[in-house]
Structure formats: C-alpha cells, structure tokens
Amino acid sequence: MNQKKVWLLCGIVTLVLFVSGVSYALWQKVFVQENENVVTSDCFDVTFQEDTSSHINLQKMYPMNELEGLRIKPYVFEIENICNSNANYQINLEVLANSTMPSEKMKVKLNESPSEYLEKEVEASIGSRAYEVEKGFLRSGEKKKYEFRIWMDEERSQGESGNQSFVGKIVVKASYEPRYQESILNGMDPVLKEGLIPVVIENDGTVKKADEKEEWYHYSNQKWANAVVLEDESISYQNGEVIPESNIESYFVWIPKYRYKLWDLGNYEGLTSINSNKVHDIEIIFGDYDTVDEKSGECKTPGVSGESGNCSVGDYMTHPAFQAFGIKGLWVGKFETGYKGANSTSEAEQNINNPEQIEIKPNVYSWRNINPANIHLNSYNYKREYDSHMMKNTEWGAVSYLQHSVYGSRNSVRVNNNSNCITGYSAVTEPTCGYTGDNRDCNRYEGTSLNVDGIYTKRYNSEVGYFASTTGNITGIYDGSDASLKWSSMCWRRCNIYQWFFWTLL
C-alpha cells in the first residue's frame, strides 16, 4: 500500500480523497483508487483507509427502486484523526466534465442515513459540479467507517436514459478545528469519543457544555477535566448551555498519563507506622512516554505487581495504570456507582447483572451488596465502545497519586459519612478515630434523605463538600474515602453490605 503525504500551511487543511470514479448507464464501469491517502501537518493528521475488496463494479446497470439500490454491495472506507487536534470534514460527490447523465437521476446512501438525491450543491474542487453527501466532526483519535452506495433511481429515470453515463468521484475535505490544550499535559489532554460530552461544573453543581476551544480544565490550578454521558443522547446542547441533571446518566473525570518519581520501593514485611517527616508531594510529569532502564534517572515499569525491576529511589517511572493499550489517560467515575431508580438504601442493594441500572452521579443511592463477578459484568457491558471496565488497583493508584501531587488537593480526602450511602457527601470535620475506625460516633456518621444536608454531613457542591474531592474543588473525584467499602479487581472486602467500585473508560 503506497502512501502520499502533503504538508499543509496556515493551520487549515483540505484533504481530497479520490475514492472512486463511477460510470452509470445501461453499460457501466467503475474505477476505484487503490492507494492510501494521508494528509500530514505539524498539528493535524487524518488518514484514509479503503477496503480494496469492496469496490463497486456494476455491469449492465438499469434504473432501480429503493430496495434494489440497498442491495448493492457498498464501497467501504474509513477516515481517522490520528492527531491531537480536532477536525471537521465533508464528504462530497463531484460530477466530472465527461458525465452525460443528469445528476438528479442519481440516488446515494451513506451508512444508515436515509437515501437522498443529489440536490445540495456545493463548491467543486475537481469536477464541474459537487454535491454534499455528509459532513461531520472527528475528535482526536476518532475513526469513522462508511459504506457508500449509488444507483440510478427509477422514479427519475423514466424516458430516455440509454447511452448516458454518470461519472463522479468521492471527495472528502477535512479542516483543522482548534481546541484548548494545556501545555503542562504534554499532549495528554482529554480524549473525547462520541457520546462523551465535555462539561464545566460551576461551584453550585450547575453543569454546562464546555466549549472545547476555550479553557475548560486547568490541571496546574487543580481543575480536572469533566465529561458526562447523557440519558437521552438525541438531545444536543450548545456550548455554554446548561445540561439538566435529569438528562445526565454518569459523570467522568480525566486522569492524564504520567510518570512519577519513586520515593520508596515499598518492600515492607509488615504494617508500618506513619512518619510525618516523610510526608511530601508526589512529583509527576505528564506525557505520552514510557520510561526505560537505559536512560539515567528513570526505569522501566515492572510488568509484575510487587516487583521493583531495575528501579531505584529517585528514578521516574511511568505509572503502571497507563501501560496497556497505548492510552493517553483514563476516564474515571466521578462518584460511587449508583443504582438507577433506587428510592432507598435497601433498594440499591442488588446483586444482579444489569448494566442499564448504572448511574454515576451525586445524590443517588450507592449500588451495594453486589459480588465481584456482577461488578465485572456490569462495568464491562456498560459502555463497551469506550472499553468500560471494573477499576483495577493500578488505576485506583493513578488517581490517588495524582491527588497527592501539586495537581491535586494534597490533603486527606474527607470521608463520605452519609450512613444512608448517598453519593457525593462529605464529613463536616475530620474523623477523630481515623478513617479505618469502626466506631461511628467518633466518625460522626449521619443519615439524610437525597439531596439534603445534615448536621455532620454535607453535599458535594458546598464548601464542606469540596473537602471530599481529590482536587479540593468541585472538579475532582468524590467518594474516594469510605461511604461504602471499595472494590477494585483485586481488592478485599470487610463485610457483605458496604462495598463499591469505580468504572473507568479508556
């Protein structure tokens, strides 16, 4: 497969893909490009890949009805944005000068979109006329696959159509779409897939759709990126528009890939006591880089849990949570996973496999009394297109380390002391017997109704509530301490009732 590369100027690019030239008449030929097309610039890179076995090759073509047209074997191609920038694109069908059949006789269909006539004329790039077939948006790392069909429509081909040819080419134009990026992240900015809506959350909890061109996160100021999954994805929101809580199914927070400086290799033979002299910030460097043994001051991340490999104190090591799949970061559930529709603590105690019951929101009853097998199945099947899964110990650690760096709160994460296991609450004061104490009096547990403050426990969107966040503000991850015992894929369990888990999206 050959490649063509074109360097583009001024940050605006046009990608022209000669996918196929199609000739239609009673006798018809099809010409399909075989080469891969690549457009490259320093800020924008979109690739095109075709299925060479799917070439349209229709002989002795005649006017068709809708059902016959849909039976045509489609031409299959993919476009992918492999850069950090976003891209707008438009798919056109351009009519060449040697075409003799009127364009209005042709009907086209792209994927599951309704079939349509060639009526929306746009500016041509290579042909005498051009018609828009599709336009869309590609996020960083996003890929889209298309199946293209075209036929001579029988309703518009009455009368003289013999010895006429329709000759056209598919032309795809892509253009750079600027978006906000934070330099400290070194390219590990949030990766947004279709259905994951970037948001800004005001201090009172109001959620608004973020404008990706403007600042909507700032890790240097402990403001982490947030995104939501909607209940009704058919509803679209404009930048800055409020997204009502009733249409939010789940909240997620972005954890960028990083390497950190080792301060202790953790080779302990038993329990240790707290040494306040060793309390310090964890030094972190963001970036899409895997540390290696061969470079001074760093070491390769050991592949086995508990091993130190060739690492020494003072070396930088890529956090193991980011070793798999070449990921740039993790989308982590912002709150404990709740049981959708539960009206009481007991209604959320369901040991079942039903991912449709998942919600990750504040002020809902935490889904509890569920065994690890069902936790795995629910999380795995929740959003398969995002690689949703039960959180691993290493991923929990990645959140904890980031929280204890200059990019997080660097304080103890205040316990969720709502005894009714409602998500997003925070204790008014630090527990006097420690976070592992079993005495609920000294830990000041208190039960409330949904969305109601108590005397000793307050909601997430308050000055007290911020203490339960990993950032010390509303942009962080909540419920990281108590509320219900935490499950991850290799975790322990203290009792049958109090347990919970994060969900992560890669």
Q: Could you tell me if 25 and 121 lie in one domain?
A: yes
Greater confidence (3 vs 408) lies with 408
Domain count, the chain: 3
Cβ 231 vs Cβ 247: under 8 Å? yes
Q: Could you tell me if 404 and 492 lie in one domain?
A: yes
Cβ 498 vs Cβ 436: under 8 Å? no
Q: Could you tell me if 151 and 263 lie in one domain?
A: no
Q: What average pLDDT is seen over the chain?
A: 81
Q: Could you tell me if 227 and 86 lie in one domain?
A: no
Q: Could you tell me if 200 and 340 lie in one domain?
A: yes
Distance from C-alpha of 424 to C-alpha of 468, rounded to nearest angstrom: 8
Residue 323 lies in a domain: no
Distance from C-alpha of 355 to C-alpha of 246, rounded to nearest angstrom: 19
Domain final residue, candidates 267, 284, 318: 318
pLDDT tens for each residue of 426-444: 999 887 776 555 666 677 8
Residue 54 lies in a domain: yes
pLDDT tens for each residue of 62-105: 788 889 888 888 878 788 887 767 788 888 888 888 888 888 88
Greater confidence (376 vs 176) lies with 376
Q: Could you tell me if 358 and 382 lie in one domain?
A: yes
Residue 431 lies in a domain: yes
What pLDDT shows up at residue 151? Answer: 87
Distance from C-alpha of 192 to C-alpha of 107, rounded to nearest angstrom: 34
Q: Could you tell me if 342 and 424 lie in one domain?
A: yes
**Residue 84 domain boundaries:** 3-177
455: its two tokens: 């005397």
> Closest Cα partner for 110 from 19, 246, 32, 235?
19
Domain final residue, candidates 177, 202, 235: 177
Greater confidence (227 vs 433) lies with 227
What pLDDT shows up at residue 249? Answer: 96
> Closest Cα partner for 201 from 405, 486, 482, 465?
465
440-444: long-range pairs with CB below 8 Å, 24+: 443/415, 443/417, 443/482, 444/417
Residue 485 has pLDDT above 90, yes or no: no
Distance from C-alpha of 43 to C-alpha of 176, rounded to nearest angstrom: 8
> Closest Cα partner for 478 from 423, 430, 421?
423
Total length of the chain: 506
> Closest Cα partner for 360 from 377, 382, 327?
382
Q: Could you tell me if 202 and 165 lie in one domain?
A: no
What pLDDT shows up at residue 267? Answer: 67
Q: Could you tell me if 480 and 423 lie in one domain?
A: yes
DSSP string covering 385-439, please? GGT-EEPPHHHHHHHHHHHTSTTS--SPPPPB-BTT-BTTEEESS--TT-TT---
Q: Could you tell me if 480 and 394 lie in one domain?
A: yes
β-bridge pairing 20-24 and 389-390:
unpaired
Lowest mean pLDDT of 350-354, 427-431, 460-464, name the range.
427-431
What pLDDT shows up at residue 306? Answer: 72
Q: Could you tell me if 208 and 141 lie in one domain?
A: no
Residue 25 has pLDDT above 90, yes or no: no
What pLDDT shows up at residue 318? Answer: 95
pLDDT tens for each residue of 251-296: 999 999 999 999 888 766 666 666 777 788 999 999 988 999 999 9
Residue 385 lies in a domain: yes
Residue 164 has pLDDT above 80, yes or no: no
Mean pLDDT value of segment 102-128: 89
Domain final residue, candidates 142, 177, 212: 177
**Which band of pLDDT confidence, cut at 50, 70 and 90, is reported for residue 50?**
low
Q: Exposed/middle/buried for 323, CB within 10 Å: 0-12, 13-18, 19+?
A: middle
Distance from C-alpha of 278 to C-alpha of 287, rounded to nearest angstrom: 27
Q: Could you tell me if 116 and 190 lie in one domain?
A: no
